[in-house]
Amino acid sequence: MYIYDKYDHDILSQRVAQFRDQTRRYLDGSLSEAEFLPLRLQNGLYVQRLAPMLRINVPYGMLNTTQLRRLARIARDYDKGYCHVSTRQNIQYNWPDLEQVPDILAELAEVEMHGTQSSGNCIRNITSDQFAGTAPDEVVDPRPYCEIIRQWSSFHPEFAFLPRKFKIAISGSELDRAAIQVHDIGLQLVTDNNGEIGFKVIVGGGLGRTPVIGSVIREFLPRLEVLNYLEAILRVYNLHGRRDNKFKARIKILVRAMGADVFAEAVEQEWQQIKESPSTLRDEDFDNAKAFFTEPAYETLNDDAVQTALEQQSADNRAFSKWLERNVRPHKVAGYAAVTLSLKPTGIAPGDITDGQLEVIADLADQYSFSEVRTTHEQNMVLADVKKSDLFALWEAARSAGFATPNIGTLTDIICCPGGDFCSLANAKSIPIAEAIQRQFSDLDYVYDLGDLDLNISGCMNACGHHHVGHIGILGVDKKGQEFYQVMLGGNAGNNASLAKVLGPAFGADDMPQVVQKVVDVFLENRTEEELFIDTYQRIGITPFKERVYAKAS
């Protein structure tokens, strides 16, 4: 994991001092509300329906246990004892006092954390694959690249007042687990025929009110040039992105208006001018970055032996075997596995976690996973390096702490934004809908039988809950002051990214569990043996679902 040196610490403590002074000037009236707004946003502070909301960056989802314990302490001392894992791998507090935010940031800085650029019209936290460095399908470990780009984007003097927010995601594996096609820039690490490492560059994806799958503007960018090339993209966007209408200000609108080819050409021209600048990386720079992400001290283990033991344990214990099937993933090192801790038990807002649970996870990570934890964009947490022989003990401990719900990747592993309970932009509540659906599908065997099924809920078209890329997407809408929900089907966030299609007129909250039930029924009646929901949907189309859901009661 990246460790701060004196430079990083100095920069961050100067940032805390700067924000402390800005907050002081705001509170004494010398800094206006309008001027304070972007400054507080760029330190993570929103002002929400009920209280300020503070968003803390978790760079590409990596946390150590010292940081986790600090997050727990802050939840306890400054908030109501819990926090929230966001769909961009960040941590959010819902109830801090504005006056205390500089103190919270100072506490975070001590453990190398901050809220810098977690909101506002700037380059946001870089997100990536939660299984980075451990996944068997990994081509290149994305974390050193994430860190290089994190540093480049932090306090960038030219790009702090962009037309709109800017999100970058990086994937280094065959399967895209970072949703790179729906980011402002998606970077896919690839190798060319000579084994040279580079990036496939995707630009102009995004969700929000105008969902777009990004366009590839460069098939292979040599890795040495990545900062120059990013600078070229951002400069073209900063100068040409629309500023007259905030709903048309994202880069996706610019790329569409110019055409991806013309946009790519503009970037190419700018890049040619700054190519080989001092920001060009050298092999040693990658080596320096990589040195922070070396493998932990894995033991040499006999996979066959532990596998046999595991099979015995799962034969004896069905609950354990379900957990193994859903929450445990293969690891590139023999004898190890990656474990997802579910933050989606029924009745808890998806992604919410208490101070005590954070500390339990820290203890488990110290004991079983080299003191590291990752957050996922599906709003769960991961222990990425667990010995298979420890899985049973880990499962028992996780179960008693409440995050061993064996539902990862299933219908009840719902991605859900804070919605009307917390967010002032919401059209409708989203958390109670998630809960009602989880209750409708409380029979775990039934849910397993459905297989992988992503259900995503947003409380308004800003799409913080990724509803466009859920196999089933739910969007809160407002009709004459009443909360309604639009259902959409067929979205997909991974390699074959696609945007969901609207099923038809919206429903009231009370109808939602039954509506989802009917959608699932149509799937069950039509699926072939090996099909997942998304496959059946793609084969039979939306019509059978529509007919069932809107059938007149006879």
Partner 1 sequence: MPKLVKDGAITEDQWTLLDKPDDSPEAVVIPAGCVIVPLSVWQAQKDSLTHRSDIGVWIDSDESAFDLGEDASTLPLVAVNFPGFMDGRAFSTARLLRERFHFGGELRAIGAFIRDQMGYLSRCGVNAFQFEDESIDLTEAMKSLNDFTEYYQASVNQPQPLFRRRSA
Closest CA to 232 of 211, 252, 218, 244: 218
Q: Pairing between strand 381-387 and 372-375?
A: antiparallel
Q: Out of 426, 437, 488, 512, which residue is the one contacting ligand SF4 (CB under 6 A)?
A: 426
- CA 182 to CA 457: how far, in whole Å? 16
Q: Out of 238, 367, 526, 538, which residue is the one contacting partner 1 (CB under 8 A)?
A: 238
Chosen from partner 1, ligand SF4, ligand HEM, none, partner binding at 92 (C-beta under 5 to 8 Å by type): ligand HEM
- If one asks whether residue 391 binds ligand HEM (CB under 6 A), the answer comes out as no
In angstroms, give the least distance from the CB of 345 to ligand HEM: 17
Nearer CB in complex with ligand HEM: 57/536? 57
Chosen from ligand HEM, ligand SF4, partner 1, none, partner binding at 458 (C-beta under 5 to 8 Å by type): ligand SF4
What sign does the dihedral 196-197-201-202 (CA atoms) show? positive
Piece of 202-210, 274-282, 370-378, 427-435 that binds partner 1 (CB under 8 A): 274-282
CA dihedral (426, 418, 72, 148) in degrees, to 10, reads -90
- If one asks whether residue 388 binds ligand HEM (CB under 6 A), the answer comes out as no
Exposure of 297 by Cβ count < 10 A (0-12 exposed, 13-18 middle, 19+ buried)? exposed
- CA 353 to CA 81: how far, in whole Å? 9
Nearer CB in complex with ligand SF4: 249/460? 460
The CB-based long-range contact list for 9-14 (8 Å cut-off, 24+ gap) reads 9/109, 9/112, 11/154, 11/155, 12/109, 12/112, 12/114, 12/116, 13/109
- CA 367 to CA 401: how far, in whole Å? 15
Chosen from ligand HEM, ligand SF4, partner 1, none, partner binding at 459 (C-beta under 5 to 8 Å by type): ligand SF4
In angstroms, give the least distance from the CB of 40 to ligand HEM: 13
Chosen from ligand HEM, ligand SF4, partner 1, none, partner binding at 151 (C-beta under 5 to 8 Å by type): partner 1
Chosen from ligand HEM, ligand SF4, partner 1, none, partner binding at 96 (C-beta under 5 to 8 Å by type): none
Q: Quick one: the chain helix, strand, coil %, rounded to 5?
A: 45, 20, 40
Chosen from ligand HEM, partner 1, ligand SF4, none, partner binding at 86 (C-beta under 5 to 8 Å by type): ligand HEM
Reading the block at residue 240, the tokens are 């040409």
Output phi, psi for 476, to 5 deg: -75, 130
In angstroms, give the least distance from the CB of 107 to ligand HEM: 21
- CA 385 to CA 38: how far, in whole Å? 39
Of 122-181, binders to partner 1 (CB under 8 A) are: 148, 151-152, 154-163
Q: Out of 459, 473, 490, 491, which residue is the one contacting ligand SF4 (CB under 6 A)?
A: 459
- If one asks whether residue 313 binds partner 1 (CB under 8 A), the answer comes out as no
- If one asks whether residue 232 binds partner 1 (CB under 8 A), the answer comes out as no
Nearer CB in complex with partner 1: 37/393? 37
Q: Which residue is listed with tokens 């920069």?
A: 11
Chosen from ligand HEM, partner 1, ligand SF4, none, partner binding at 426 (C-beta under 5 to 8 Å by type): ligand SF4
Cβ atoms within 10 Å, residue 552:
4
- If one asks whether residue 510 binds partner 1 (CB under 8 A), the answer comes out as no
Nearer CB in complex with ligand SF4: 384/417? 417
Exposure of 348 by Cβ count < 10 A (0-12 exposed, 13-18 middle, 19+ buried)? buried
- If one asks whether residue 433 binds ligand SF4 (CB under 6 A), the answer comes out as no
- If one asks whether residue 423 binds ligand SF4 (CB under 6 A), the answer comes out as yes
Of 443-472, binders to partner 1 (CB under 8 A) are: none
Q: Out of 51, 197, 425, 477, which residue is the one contacting ligand HEM (CB under 6 A)?
A: 425
Nearer CB in complex with ligand HEM: 133/351? 351
Exposure of 300 by Cβ count < 10 A (0-12 exposed, 13-18 middle, 19+ buried)? exposed
Of 157-186, binders to ligand HEM (CB under 6 A) are: 164-165
User: Would you give the DSSP letter of residue 212?
Assistant: B
Q: Out of 464, 474, 489, 516, which residue is the one contacting ligand HEM (CB under 6 A)?
A: 464
Reading the block at residue 17, the tokens are 């001092």
- If one asks whether residue 222 binds partner 1 (CB under 8 A), the answer comes out as no
Q: Which CA distances in Å does 375 have to 91, 114, 130, 415, 465?
A: 9, 16, 7, 13, 16
Conformation bin of residue 155: beta by default, left when phi > 0, alpha when psi is -120 to 50:
left
- If one asks whether residue 507 binds ligand HEM (CB under 6 A), the answer comes out as no
- CA 148 to CA 118: how far, in whole Å? 17
Chosen from ligand HEM, ligand SF4, partner 1, none, partner binding at 301 (C-beta under 5 to 8 Å by type): none
Q: How many CA atoms lie within 13 A of 101 on its CB side?
A: 36
Piece of 232-240, 298-306, 409-417, 456-464 that binds partner 1 (CB under 8 A): 232-240
Chosen from ligand HEM, partner 1, ligand SF4, none, partner binding at 419 (C-beta under 5 to 8 Å by type): ligand SF4
In angstroms, give the least distance from the CB of 152 to partner 1: 6
In angstroms, give the least distance from the CB of 89 to ligand HEM: 9
- If one asks whether residue 417 binds ligand SF4 (CB under 6 A), the answer comes out as yes
- CA 216 to CA 482: how far, in whole Å? 41
User: Which residue blocks in 275-378 are alpha helix, DSSP H?
Assistant: 283-290, 303-316, 318-327, 355-368
Where does this chain bind partner 1 (CB under 8 A)? 5, 7, 10-11, 14-15, 17-18, 22, 35, 38-39, 121, 148, 151-152, 154-163, 227, 235, 238-239, 243, 273, 277-279, 281, 284-285, 288
Where does this chain bind ligand HEM (CB under 6 A)? 46, 48, 53, 86-88, 92, 164-165, 206-209, 250, 417-418, 422-423, 425, 462-464
